[in-house]
Amino acid sequence: MTSVVLMLIVAALSEPPDALANRSTINPDGVLEIDGKKIFVIGFTAAPPADGKTPTGKDAFAELADAGATFVRFGPDQPWSDTRLEEEQKFEDAAAHYGLHCWLNLREASSIKPGDTRNEELLRKILTRFKDHPALGAYKGADEPEWGKHPLPPLERAYQIVKQLDPNHPLVIIEAPRGTIESLKRYEQFSDITGLDIYPIGYPPGAHSQFSKTNSEISMVGDYTRWMTEVANRKKPVWMTLQIAWSGVLKEGKTLRFPTFPEERFMTYQAIINGARGLTYFGGALPKSLNNADWKLGWNWRFWNRVLRPVIEEIGTKSPLYPALVAPESKLPIKVKGDGVEFCVRVVGSDIFVLACKREGPTIKAEFSDLPKTASIGNVLYEEPRTIEVKSGKFTDWFAPFEVHVYQFAN
C-alpha cells in the first residue's frame, strides 16, 4: 500500500460519516435551521422545472432565489421510478446551485403497510440517495391523511424509517381543511412539522373550507393557522400552503379565478401573524391554469410577475423584514384596540417589528399601546415614506378590511 493511498484512507476515516450532509433542525422557537442558518420557508409546489426559463429567458430558479424564496418542490406529482429518481437528482442539483432547498415528496413511500417490502425498499432507496444532498431541506409525508382516513400504523412505520436513516431532516405532513383538532392530532405524532392547505379564492368563495357557512372570507387562512398551532400543541412548527390555483377553479364548470395582490398579501401576512413558520404557494404548475405562453414554460409566470413576486419580495431573504420572520415571538406586552385587528411582535436587535392585519368588517382606526417608552418614530414598511409616531407608548393607524401594515420601530 502506497503512502498516498494510506493518507487517503486515514483522511476518510477521520472525516465524520455525514460530513457532506446538511442538517435541518427545528430550534426552540419553531424556526427551521439548516446548518445553523435560520430559514423562513418560502416555497412553491410545484416549482418551475429545474431547467425552466422565465419569459425573459432567465433561469427559473435564479428568478425565485433573487426574489427571496428559500424552498422548491418537484412537480408534476408522479410515482417513483428510476426515471423519477434521476429527475429528482437534477432538480436538487439545480436548487443547490441557486441556494434553494428542496421539500422532497416521499409520495407512495410515505406509508409502509405490514409486509409492504416494495415501498419499504423504495423509501430506503430514496433516503439513502438524497439524505446527504446539500439542497435537501425536508421530506413531505402522506398528503392530507386525516381527510383520507389513512390508517396510522403505515405512517408510523415510514416515520420510524425516516428517523433511523436520516435523523438530520424533518418530515412534514400537510392536512386538508377538514376534520377536528382532535382527529388531526392523531396524525400529528408522525411528523416533525405540521400544516394545512387552504384555498379561499373561488366561486362561490370559501368552498375549500368545511366552515364556509360560518366564514367564507379569506380570513379563514388565519383561523386555520391558529387551528393547526392547537393541533401541534404549540410544540411543533406550522407550515401553511396558500393558493395560486386549485381544482376548485380549474374543474369543468368552475370559473378560473386567482388571488389578487392585496388578497395574496393579506393571506401571507395573516398566516405569519397567527403562527406560521413556513409558507408554500400551491398551483403554479397546474396546466389548466396557464396561458399559452406560460404553458410552454411550465409555470405561471404571469401570476408570479403580477401578484406573487411582489409579495415574496416583502418577506423574502433580501427584505428588511426577513430577520423578524425567523426571530422568536416577542414577550413585549403590546396591546391593540380595534375590532378584527390581528398582530404579532418580533424584536431583532434594537428594532421592534409589529405585523398587523385587519379582517373583514368596517374600516377602523386602531390603537396600539404598551410599546416601550423609548420608541418614537416608526417606519411603515412598503408604504414609504409614511411613518408612525409613538407617544407615551401608543400609536394609532387606519385599517381597511383585509389591509396589512408592517411597522418597524427603533427601541
As a whole number of Å, the end-to-end CA separation of the chain is 66
Tell me, what's the pLDDT at 411? Answer: 79
HSE-CB of 317 using CA atoms within 13 angstroms: 17
**Structural domain boundaries, residue 176:** 3-325
Torsion, CA 183, CA 187, CA 193, CA 196, rounded to 10: -50
Residues 229 and 346 in one domain: no
What's the CATH number where 203 sits? 3.20.20.80
Instruction: Flag whether 292 is in a domain.
Output: yes
Give, in order, the Cα–Cα distances in Å from 15 to each of 11, 18, 36. 6, 8, 20
**pTM higher than the cut 0.75:** yes
Measured distance CA(52)–CA(60) in Å, rounded = 5
Last residue in a domain, options 325, 356, 372: 325
pLDDT at position 21 is: 64
**Which residues, in sequence order, are CB contacts of 64 under 8 Å at separation 6+?**
44, 47, 48, 72, 98, 100
DSSP run (H or E) holding 346:
strand 341-348
At 7 the pLDDT is 39
Report the CATH number that the domain containing residue 351 is assigned in CATH. 2.60.40.1180
| Shared domain check, 221 and 187 | yes
Per-residue pLDDT in tens (0 to 9) along the chain, 411 residues: 444 334 333 333 333 333 456 999 999 999 999 999 999 999 999 999 999 999 999 999 999 999 999 999 999 899 999 999 999 999 999 999 999 999 999 999 999 999 999 999 999 999 999 999 999 999 999 999 999 999 999 999 999 999 999 999 999 999 999 999 999 999 999 999 999 999 999 999 999 999 999 999 999 999 999 999 999 999 999 999 999 999 999 999 999 999 999 999 999 999 999 999 999 999 999 999 999 999 999 999 999 999 999 999 999 999 999 999 999 999 999 999 999 999 999 999 999 999 999 999 999 999 999 999 999 899 999 999 999 999 999 999 999 999 999 999 997
Does residue 171 belong to any structural domain of this protein?
yes
Same-domain status, 155 and 268: yes
| Burial class (CB within 10 angstroms; exposed 0-12, middle 13-18, buried 19+) of 323 | middle
User: CA separation (Å) from 5 to 8, 15, 19, 99?
Assistant: 5, 16, 20, 34
114: preceding bond cis by omega (within 30 degrees)? no
Length of the chain: 411
CA torsion sign for 163, 165, 167, 171 is negative
Q: Tell me how far apart the alpha carbons of residues 101 and 95 are, in angstroms, rounded to a whole number.
A: 6
Residue that terminates a domain, selected from 278, 293, 325: 325
pLDDT of 11 reads 38
pLDDT of residue 103: 98
CA geometry: angle at 116 spanning 110 and 122, to 5°? 50
Query: What is the reported pLDDT for 19?
Result: 40
pLDDT of the residue at 16: 36
Amino acid 203: pLDDT: 96
Are the beta carbons of 172 and 206 closer than 8 angstroms?
Answer: no
Task: Choose the final residue of a domain: 295, 325, 355.
Answer: 325
Question: Is residue 260 domain-shared with residue 399, that is, in the same domain?
Answer: no
Q: Say if 280 falls within a structural domain.
A: yes
Q: Tell me the β-bridge partners of 33.
A: 25, 38
Q: Which residues contact 263 (CB under 8 A, 6 or more apart)?
A: 201, 218, 402
Assigned domain for 264 exists: yes
Give yes or no: residues 278 and 162 share one domain.
yes
Residues 103 and 143 in one domain: yes
Q: Is residue 291 part of a domain?
A: yes
Are 357 and 293 in the same domain?
A: no
- Lay out the sheet containing 395-399: strands in order across: 335-337, 364-369, 395-399
User: Does residue 162 share a domain with residue 84?
Assistant: yes
Do 209 and 349 fall into the same domain? no
Neighbours of 403 (CB within 10 A): 18
Is 354 found in the same domain as 399? yes
Helix (H) or strand (E) holding 183: helix 181-188
Phi, psi of 289 (to 5 degrees): -95, 0
Q: What is the pLDDT of residue 20?
A: 52
343 lies in some domain: yes
Instruction: Kindly give the interhelix angle for 152-165 and 117-130, rounded to the nearest 10 degrees.
Output: 30
Number of structural domains the chain divides into = 2
3-state secondary structure of 326: coil
- Closest to 44 in 3D by CA, of 21, 70, 78, 80: 70
Q: Is residue 315 located within the same domain as residue 346?
A: no
List the grid coordinates of 74: 418537484
The count of other CB atoms within 10 Å of the CB of residue 153 is: 12
Torsion, Cα of 225, 231, 235, 239 (10° steps): -40
Answer whether residue 60 is part of any domain.
Answer: yes
321, three cell numbers: 423584514
Determine, yes or no, domain membership for 330. no
Q: Based on the domain organization, do 311 and 360 belong to the same domain?
A: no
